[in-house]
Structure 1
């Protein structure tokens, strides 16, 4: 296995590079209805389904971590829950298509048996099906592992991104493995995925949020990189890198969006004010792309930026 051979850059170093390169952006806040006074954030990128544009979003009370994932459709610039569609008691949804089948994932929180208001762990759950209304559960990640993402590779195999912590992953690294098909997606697959080297310094962490198959067969990874400051405040930034699935070689991480790209607004808690959580990216084909994000664990935005994957296909 080869790596990018460069020492991992810190968030501070990556921010210096980011702010040194001016770019044109267009920002739009998403408006939601039909969910009461709850917040909608950590959305996926829009995707087409039966002639409709659909997104998934995390729906949650401001003072709670117990959320639901809704499918939303848009009419007159307002996103509303898709009619007669099941909701899931999950956080942080993700979606992809594998062999034409819709794959939806999200994080289920596990509560204390004696105190149902206390979250003690979490598990990523995956559902599959050719119709939104008939998705079935087919796989679960290991306990406490978030940011598991799947992608269909050019030869039909399935790439799997993981997020180990602890002995193998510290505060959170990115792992990767390849399996022949979705039938092989099991807990052992997640646990044994190889950790990508030299991506984060030991005090910082990150994860994959969405994967794109690039024209050269490499994988463009949209994710986040995060750190704590001296006051224990969290700082999350949208980032990308490219992975060669044959050699596991990666390009250096680059930040593509920060909280400062978006208007001042509410946050779930003070320690989450400087959080941008990557949801998904739609490449426009003209050198531009639209990034969907959750902001401060309270709002959802889309921002048009230069396509960050173009350089990996050059």
Structure 2
């Protein structure tokens, strides 16, 4: 992958976004019911399962990080937990389709193997014909969130990684590929080369990947930083990647917290957080962006399709 690209700060990207911002066509809170005293946030975009649209969401109490992922369906304008659907002890759900299978995943939290009293995490993947038949088939490297898969134009599987630590710092995006899911391994993921997109003091990750009409991959993700007071700032962003030659576009911020409705926050340091969930692209050039807001809320806005320019 080209290494000569220069990382651009989220502050500069945000300034560029604000100069050219088009106000959302529409903004809306996603109403979830049936989970009393719990928040639903960091949702997926709706996807079809057995003939109906389903949203997966992270569900937890405001004062806790003990999270479950549940599946919700729309009943009379409200999203309620789907009857007889599984519940996973995960955070931050996502999905894709590879072949004729649903690939579903999230972040699993577990006791740190060497640090007493500390926690670690990994991305886990399930597969099945539908939600009811999901079975775990892969665990990503310990300490890695935002691991994503996508079926590419030639049928191979693209892998977007996000190591932290010695390789990756606070979190950088990488890419590699395998011919089939059977070749997926921790070693392959750990060896993936990284893009040069984030300053060392900032971080980001991929949230959902889209196969564009020209065979390129559209990446919906987030870019984030701390301010001087320790507050977190997360912005929704996109870029396009050409898997044939490894070239990738500059990051573009597509939304910030101010674009959404006012709402609750989990903690004071999480007020300015937009966590990209997914996009529903429409033929009229618009797209619905689903997002987690301030680690306590779920909303969507309708914006210009950010991937359409990459297909022209």
TM-score tier after normalising by the smaller chain length: over 0.9
Aligned partner (choices 204, 208, 214) of residue 210 of structure 1: 208
Distance in 2, Cα, partners of 1:288 & 1:199: 26
Distance in 1, Cα, partners of 2:112 & 2:34: 31
Q: Deviation of residue 187 (structure 1)?
A: 1.2
Secondary structure, aligned partner of 2:187? helix
TM-score, normalised via structure 2 length: 0.96
Aligned partner (choices 246, 249, 260) of residue 248 of structure 1: 246
Distance in 1, Cα, partners of 2:112 & 2:167: 26
Q: Deviation of residue 75 (structure 1)?
A: 1.2
Distance 1:218 1:108, change over 3 A: same
Describe how 1:98-109 pairs up with structure 2 within 5 A: 98-109=98-109
CA contact (8 A) 1:108 1:125 kept: yes
Describe how 1:162-177 pairs up with structure 2 within 5 A: 162-177=161-176
Aligned partner (choices 280, 292, 295) of residue 290 of structure 2: 292
Q: Does 2:222 correspond to 1:224?
A: yes
Distance in 1, Cα, partners of 2:183 & 2:94: 19
Describe how 1:102-251 pairs up with structure 2 within 5 A: 102-111=102-111, 119-196=118-195, 198-251=196-249
Give the match for residue 77 of structure 2. 77
Distance in 2, Cα, partners of 1:112 & 1:194: 26
Distance in 2, Cα, partners of 1:17 & 1:227: 17
After TM superposition, which residue ranges in structure 1, 4 or more long, deviate above 2 angstroms? none
Q: Deviation of residue 112 (structure 1)?
A: 6.1
Distance in 1, Cα, partners of 2:296 & 2:168: 28
Q: Does 2:262 correspond to 1:280?
A: no
Give the match for residue 271 of structure 1. 269
Give the match for residue 47 of structure 2. 47
Q: Does 2:67 correspond to 1:67?
A: yes
Secondary structure, aligned partner of 1:108? strand
Secondary structure, aligned partner of 2:54? strand
Task: For structure 1, list consecutive stretches of 5 or more residues without a partner in the other structure.
Answer: none
Secondary structure, aligned partner of 2:273? strand
How many residues align structurally? 311
Q: Deviation of residue 22 (structure 1)?
A: 3.1
Q: Give a deviation string over 1:232-251, Cα, whole Å, max 9, x none.
A: 11000000000011222110
Distance in 2, Cα, partners of 1:6 & 1:305: 28
273-282 or 45-54: bigger deviation: 45-54
Q: Deviation of residue 169 (structure 1)?
A: 0.5
Secondary structure, aligned partner of 1:183? helix
Distance in 2, Cα, partners of 1:131 & 1:252: 36
Distance in 2, Cα, partners of 1:16 & 1:8: 15
Give the match for residue 258 of structure 1. 256
CA contact (8 A) 1:24 1:306 kept: no
Task: For structure 2, list consecutive stretches of 5 or more residues without a partner in the other structure.
Answer: none
Distance in 1, Cα, partners of 2:258 & 2:41: 17
Distance in 2, Cα, partners of 1:2 & 1:39: 41
Distance in 2, Cα, partners of 1:11 & 1:286: 30
Distance in 2, Cα, partners of 1:119 & 1:105: 23
